[in-house]
């Protein structure tokens, strides 16, 4: 029976440099399948694990459990998805039918579905956070902007704002330094004017006293002459 067929191919030991993400998913699935084909004391545990994973895969096939399906189940799933005949042909005339080839096609389909789910989830998150709203005058995110683009734009805006604040602080620092210099200059000029005014005022008083003294003495001399005469 097809359900009893076992895959016994060789699993690559390392990743090919030209491998695609789908190839990586397939490689993980093949390694998981190969790890079950062990002998010795772990065989019972491995078979139990395979049975549990297979039961889970029968309910919900994912990238993590697709390897547990047998050849018949893989073909049945691809037929249910409507892609078996397109890829392999009704009688396998387009591509060889074996566990490896069936698993490869299913893994590729599951990977595409996972990518679509992740994209839909990211779109929902962006919509919930208002990332996809039209641009407004207050700097809201432009339409169609992704979360990564939004974060990059906000980072650039924060950097520009920080540079602007720094330039403003430098300008204020220069302004206050200039004002301090001007105030010191004005204070020095005021001090010099007051000093000059003080010196100028003292000389004037002395000269005035010197001019008034001879006049007073002349008046007193004339008075004496009149009295004596």
- Domain for residue 113, yes or no? yes
pTM value?
Answer: 0.38
Give every CB contact of residue 210 below 8 A, 6+ residues apart in sequence: none
Query: 3-state SS of 115-170?
Result: HHHHHHHHHHHHHHCCCCCCCCCCCCCCCCCCHHHHHHHHHHHHHHHHHHHHHHHH
pLDDT classification of 224: cutoffs 50, 70, 90: low
| pLDDT at residue 65, as a whole number | 81
Most confident of 87-96, 139-148, 210-219: 87-96
Per-position b or e across 17-34, b if 16+ CB within 10 A of its CB = eeeeebbebbbebbebbe
- Domain for residue 142, yes or no? no
Is the pLDDT confidence value at 21 over 80? no
- pLDDT, mean of residues 154-161: 88
Where are any strands of DSSP class E within the chain?
A: none
Higher pLDDT, 228 or 197: 197
- Domain for residue 220, yes or no? no
Left if phi > 0, otherwise alpha if psi is -120 to 50, otherwise beta: which for 72?
alpha
* Tens digit of each residue's pLDDT (9 = 90 or more) over 32-86: 655 545 445 455 545 555 566 666 666 788 888 888 888 998 998 899 889 999 9
Is the pLDDT confidence value at 183 over 50? yes
- Domain for residue 48, yes or no? yes
- pLDDT, mean of residues 204-222: 53
Per-position b or e across 165-196, b if 16+ CB within 10 A of its CB = eeeeeeeeeeeeeeeeeeeeeeeeeeeeeeee
| pLDDT at residue 98, as a whole number | 92
- Domain for residue 209, yes or no? no
Is the pLDDT confidence value at 100 over 80? yes
Q: Which residue has the tokens 């805006």?
A: 157
Domain hosting residue 68, numbered range? 2-122
- pLDDT, mean of residues 95-100: 90
- Domain for residue 193, yes or no? no
* Tens digit of each residue's pLDDT (9 = 90 or more) over 110-146: 999 888 888 888 888 877 776 544 444 455 556 667 8
* Structural domains counted in the chain: 1
Is the pLDDT confidence value at 155 over 80? yes
Higher pLDDT, 74 or 221: 74
99: Cα separation from own chain's centroid: 44
């Amino acid at each position: 029976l097809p359900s009893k067929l076992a895959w016994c191919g060789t699993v690559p030991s390392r990743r090919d440099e030209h491998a695609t993400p789908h190839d990586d998913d397939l490689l993980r699935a093949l390694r998981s399948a190969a790890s079950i084909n062990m002998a010795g004391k772990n065989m019972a545990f491995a078979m139990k694990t395979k049975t549990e994973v297979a039961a889970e895969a029968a309910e919900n096939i994912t990238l993590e459990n697709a390897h547990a399906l047998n050849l018949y189940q893989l073909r049945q799933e691809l037929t249910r998805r409507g892609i078996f005949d397109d890829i392999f042909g009704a009688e396998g005339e387009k591509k060889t039918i074996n566990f490896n080839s069936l698993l490869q096609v299913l893994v590729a389909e599951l990977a595409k579905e996972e990518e679509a789910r992740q994209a839909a989830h990211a779109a929902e998150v962006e919509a919930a956070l208002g990332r996809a709203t039209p641009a407004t005058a207050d700097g809201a995110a432009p339409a169609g902007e992704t979360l990564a683009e939004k974060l990059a734009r906000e980072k650039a805006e924060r950097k520009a704002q920080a540079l602007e604040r720094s330039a403003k602080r430098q300008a204020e620092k220069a302004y206050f330094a200039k004002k301090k210099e001007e105030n010191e200059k004005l204070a020095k000029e005021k001090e010099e004017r007051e000093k000059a005014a003080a010196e100028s005022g003292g000389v004037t008083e002395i000269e005035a006293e010197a001019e008034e003294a001879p006049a007073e003495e002349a008046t007193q001399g004339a008075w004496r002459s009149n009295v004596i005469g």
